[in-house]
Chain A
Amino acid sequence: MMLGYNEQKRSNYFHIDELVKWNKQQWISDLELNRLDEYLKPRYKRTNIFVNIGLFVLTSIIINSALGFMGLLFIGLLDFDHIWFPALVAGSLTLIGLQRIVIDDKNQFRTGADDATLYHALGFFYGFFFALFEDFLIDNELIILGFTTLFFGITAYIYLDRLLTALTILTALGFLFFLLFRLGGIVTLLMPFVMMIVASLGYFFSLKRMKNAKSKVIEECFEIAYWIFIALFYLSGNYFVVIELSAALDLTNSFPILIVWFLYAFTIVVPILYIIFGLKHKEASLLNFGLLAVALSVATLRYYHSSMSIELELIIGGLLLVGIAWVALKYWSSDKGGITLKPNKNLDDGLKIESLLIDQALSDSSTSQSFTGGGGEFGGGGASGDF
């Protein structure tokens, strides 16, 4: 049994999603969309966020009830000293159900139903591994984190799931953190800088992979990584995080004064740099996180040096924010440097892709045949070959 999603169905899903968006912007006509629609089959179902939430909850209810039902049936046979066995059975059944029914048969992809089933299956398998190897796993966070990273990493690779990608990276970072901590001595004090280097490397790597990704789903996974590294870089130099973590690791006051000053400067400067670079290079994620980081930095400084009364802080903060908004509204009253104050959906008005689409090719049935024939190898990845 092949695990994971079908590549062709998945890339068709993303294409039709994009084309429907183009249609909503009136870049392509309904007729054109309907023609393209015929090319883009088979594919996974498209849904809406609220439907997804509903499906996620309902699927979880079904899985748990089914397992509860089986638990009731076999309650006499259950042996809680060997809980790994029922966990293995539950995991395998859920996984088979996921692949056979949810993904292959019902064509669910990012609808909530597949996510719920996948996470349940992983939960059972994780429980199985832990129950089985409990004796020599529990005490060692390096083994636990290493195993978890591997576990999430493999499943993230198979399913190209965004949450699993995030969990893989986070557990890997946790592993690195404890590894450095175990090494002890000067390495512990250098930890913030090691993390900064890791974050920078990770940032540039994921940015590059995002831009060169062969398919949308891979691009989105690297986008998650890219967000995590942006956050990690700031947090690994944030005064509060470093000082409080080192206190938790019994290293209170062990940083030289120079480093302390550096951390202060870092906490203040990095959010501003994020915003500037975000605006300059039109990277919305950097800008967003920069704004969030400003709030975190203000909270950090307030935590250690709070001399003003709360109402004065609120008023000054409020005035500053309104002032910043005023400056921004004045400065970008006309589009400047690739920045606009217009809402996003207005940006692309009037771009007529339909005039660019080759109409004859669309109505030509031979294209359609060649597509359905070769669709299997083609899905998603093939594009960059000729390009």
Chain B
Amino acid sequence: MRLQELAHSRTGDKGNVSNISVIAYRMEDYPLLLRHVTAERVGKHFADIVRGQVERYEMPSIGALNFVLHGALAGGVTRSLSLDPHGKSLSSSLLEMEIPGRG
């Protein structure tokens, strides 16, 4: 199923680094996110635009993951030539990811 069915997401920016949260709508789906939405998969999803490492941080208390994408903003918000220099749309892109369903 599409990640959008299980989670919501918001993008933030600092310099040339983007962070994308992935937050379970229902706390009981958090383990599913933990298992399937890995740093490696997110890195692959954004392979065309991320130049550096992808890190994942876990926030079990709120059922959320936080991904930090280094070198993801085409040189940084203030100098990027992108139409979306902040990378605000990256959260929507990530929610397109397909993951196995609740089973």
Query: Are A and B co-members of a single complex?
Result: no
Hey, which bits of chain B sit against chain A, CB under 8 A? none
